Structure 1
Amino acid sequence: MGHGRCFASRTRNIKSTVSKTENLYERGMHTCHRGPQLGNSWGTRGRAASGCSPGRSPAGAAVTPVLGSTRMAAGLDSLRGSLERHLPPAELAEAERILYGEAARPLDLPFAALSTAAERRFELQGYAFGAEPEQLRQPRIVRVGLIQNKIPLPTNAPVAEQVTALHKRIEEIVEVAAMCGVNVICFQEVWTMPFAFCTRERLPWTEFAESAEEGPTARFCQESTYYMEGDRGHPVFQTQFGKIAVNICFGRHHPLNWLMYSLNGAEIIFNPSATIGKLSESMWPIEARNAAIANHCFTCAINRVGTEVYPNPFTSGDGGDAHRDFGYFYGSSYVAAPDGSRTPGLSRTQDGLLVAEMDLNLCRQVGDKWNFKMTGRYEMYARKLAAAVQPDFVPNVIKE
């Protein structure tokens, strides 16, 4: 996968909520690095969730309806919630251990954050990944925030109104992330617009494009960088909160993308996505988690939520009938750690903020234990890959 030019810089406050932010803007997605936490406390309390009424937007206006085959997908809020309803406590604990690895410690999020999330009608969860204490290194604690959300307005609303509504919704969630002491925020893929690429139309969707330096989203986040396909490699950004990379959407299907970011030193790899249940939901819990294990790093998978209905019918190039919705975006954003543990996912149906505290020392500790990079045959892989891209490549197949 090609990855385009990116840069990061210091920023001003976002309406006095996010101080000293650093952002990475990738193909319509911003990764905002927050500075010091805003004086709020936290500890070890469990998940907090605030329910959104089905079929209603945060402002109370009707959102696009769930259609046809997506109705059942939208009805199941989360796998974890289903397990909690149907399994006794002892079996639930064992099932979660099998599904998620060793349990991440629930964070005691500030009461103000919990109550504000409930008032603004989005789910709020918080977990912490620890590491063993070391004699020569202090803990390297970072808090990240993953935001998933529906589009607040129908896709046929005026473009400027859609952008403004999305900025308002994201600001409501970012303010709560600030209350939770989050240092780095990652939004879902192309968060500033509907996921309209499926329509293959130019207008009005190209009107969502904006200047990376002076556009409304750049002003909203006070800084911006720009993404486009390219061959600039797999850049990793050295920040005060660790070495960070962004592996956009489809890039998660390529194990070598995760590997290249890891070889460049990434400790946290974000994967902002927009993907639907019929296409990829069975793969979703596996890919980012596997990448965390294989590459001794933290991975953060973010997906959007809801069904987006478009004015004109379109096809998906699969021989099926034309339709007006791409499918159901199933949310389920989560964070995975290098030891194979992971948080439960956010809701499949609601806007949400997942706060994850991580000790980056765990990356090296797990690497020292499993030694995947030491035992990898990288010189051999490199030779074979260089040969495989040549037209005269002959696979090494041993025949009977």
Structure 2
Amino acid sequence: MENETQSFEAIVNNNLSGRDLEEFNRIHFGRKDNLEVKLKDSSLAAAKDADFEIAAYAFPAKKEETRPPRIVKVGVIQHSIAVPTDRPVIEQKKAIFEKVRKMIDVAGQEGVNIICFQELWNMPFAFCTREKQPWCEFAESAEDGPTTRFLSELAAKYAMVFVSSILERDENHSDILWNTAVIISDTGSVIGKHRKNHIPRVGDFNESNYYMEGNTGHPVFATRYGKIAVNICFGRHHVLNWMMFGLNGAEIVFNPSATIAAEAGSEYMWNIEARNAAITNCYYTAAINRVGWEEFPNEFTSADGKPAHKDIGLFYGSSYFTAPDGVRCPGLSRTRDGLLISVMDLNKNRQIKDRRCYYMTQRLDMYVNSLSKVLELDYKPQVVYENEK
């Protein structure tokens, strides 16, 4: 990946300085100073040894008279797969565990409270192939599968909450598969799970060959560190999906994703959608994307007229956080594994709600009425024509 652009931020920092850079930061990120947080020397050394990027930024809130600050350290991890996709399933999964454990250990020594991984982090993103074997063998129980057991041990060790996106095997319902985020508490127990609401059917993303739309609604999980929710990958293109998590009380919404930089990809939208959601819903958002190229043993096609191929393009990383006022931090690399940490004050959520009054002015009653009409079989769009009597 030596010919790939390292990051959008690298382009800016290599070409701007002084007042120009300050003005860019003010206009693009929302503040002149990104409030970078100092990391421990041991964390920087461990990241260098394990070859992953590490960065941390603060999102403070104004001091209040009636509430103490609610400071939470939140981390997101992006990474490439660890061994080629033609290796045995157990070997592939074990290699990813070994890679990610080093990043979790660094997060633990930095006192991170919550970590979210990218979509289906413990396996290659094989759903482009439409092949059932061996990819379905990565599926496991959300409650007591090997991935949950692996993370439960680390959760208890570091008093850390994990948001773990896996391919779930629903053993209680005919062994069917789901794209599921498992929420593991700081004690190591499973709080609950959420299944992906919106399934893409575009380009190489043939995910409906493996699982269908989720049946868990829009749950918000009350953890020791705050109320969190998970908008899995393609759900970020659906504004009502983001909205419902906010209406259910989410303070932080994670968007674990697997999205590419190819022509049919969404890189130009990546920096907008999770940020827009934070602004509109007055909560923190975390956008997490995987990294690297993943080549598969057999060629596959996309039904788009293009030649058969063995990969779907570059997963471009670029994970980032946004605060409820729309201020965001620089993203991680497009090409490297990385741990990004945010030191956030959750009091900012209510402060922004009070300031901007989006919830007060949102007119849900009007939209409920309009949407109910849209669903009617004989619905007629509300269009006014020039010569209509």
State whether structure 2 residue 285 is matched by structure 1 residue 299. Answer: yes
Shift of 1:108: 1.0
Where do residues 248-327 of structure 1 align in structure 2 (5 Å cutoff)? 248-278=232-262, 279-327=265-313
Partner of 2:70: 140
3-state DSSP of counterpart to 2:297: strand
Task: Quote how far apart the aligned CAs of 1:319 are.
Answer: 2.0
Local SS of the residue matching 2:298 = strand
Question: Cα deviation per residue 1:200-231 (whole Å; 9 max; x = unaligned)?
Answer: 11011011112223322122012555554333
1:391 aligns with 2:360: no
Rounded to whole Å, the distance in 1 between the matches of 2:16 and 2:81 is 34
Quick one: which of 304, 319, 333 aligns to 1:333?
Answer: 319
CA separation of 1:337/1:226 partners in 2, compared to 1, >3 Å: closer, same or farther? closer
Amino acid at match of 2:95: A
Consecutive unaligned residues of structure 2, counting only runs of 5 or more, are: 153-188, 196-212
Q: CA RMSD in A?
A: 1.3
Pairs aligned (count): 329
Q: How does 1:67-106 map to 2 (within 5 A)?
A: 75-102=4-31, 103-106=33-36
Task: Specify the code of the residue in structure 2 equivalent to 1:316.
Answer: S
Decide whether the 8 Å contact of 1:104 with 1:341 is kept in 2.
no
Counterpart of 1:266, as a letter, is: A
Q: What residue in structure 1 maps to residue 176 of structure 2?
A: none
TM-score, with structure 2 as normaliser: 0.82
**Contact 1:180 / 1:355 at 8 angstroms: preserved in 2?**
no
For the Cα contact (< 8 Å) 2:194–2:230, is it kept in 1? no
Matches within 5 A, 1:1-400: 75-102=4-31, 103-222=33-152, 223-224=189-190, 227-228=194-195, 229-278=213-262, 279-400=265-386
State how far apart, in whole Å, the 2-side matches of 1:171 and 1:267 are. 27
State whether residues 78 and 317 of structure 2, in contact with CA within 8 Å, keep that contact through their aligned partners in structure 1: yes
* 1:181–1:218 distance in 2 versus 1, CA, 3 Å: same
One-letter code aligned to 1:95: F
CA distance, structure 1, for counterparts of residue 342 and residue 230 of structure 2: 17
Aligned residue type for 2:22: A
User: d(CA) in 2 for partners of 1:257 and 1:208?
Assistant: 27
Q: What secondary structure, in the 3-state scheme, does the structure 2 residue paired with 1:374 have?
A: coil
The residue type paired with residue 155 of structure 1 is T
Q: Which moved more, 1:327-336 or 1:387-396?
A: 387-396
Contact 2:278 2:285 in 1 (8 A): yes
Q: Give the AA of the match of 1:217.
A: T
Query: Counterpart amino acid of 1:247?
Result: N
Identity across matched positions, percent? 53
Q: Distance in 1 between matches of 2:150 and 2:51?
A: 22
Letter in 2 for 1:201: E
> How far is 1:321 from its partner?
1.4
Name 2:167's counterpart in structure 1. Answer: none
Distance 1:216 1:232 in 2: 23
Q: Distance in 2 between matches of 1:315 and 1:89?
A: 49
| Structure of higher RCO (CA pairs closer than 8 Å, 6+ residues apart) | 1
SS at match of 1:384: helix
SS in 1 for 2:359: helix
* Equivalent position amino acid for 1:255 in 2: V
Q: CA deviation at 1:149?
A: 0.1
Structure 1 unaligned spans of 5+: 1-53, 56-71
Alignment partners' CA distance in 2, 1:111 and 1:124: 12
What is the one-letter code of the residue matched to 1:100? F
Write the distance in 2 (CA, Å) between the matches of 1:308 and 1:234. Answer: 31
**Alpha-carbon distance in structure 2 between the residues aligned to 1:325 and 1:129:** 38
CA contact (8 A) 2:55 2:339 kept: yes
Q: 1:317 to 1:96 in 2, by over 3 A?
A: farther
CA distance in 2, matches of 1:218, 1:291: 29
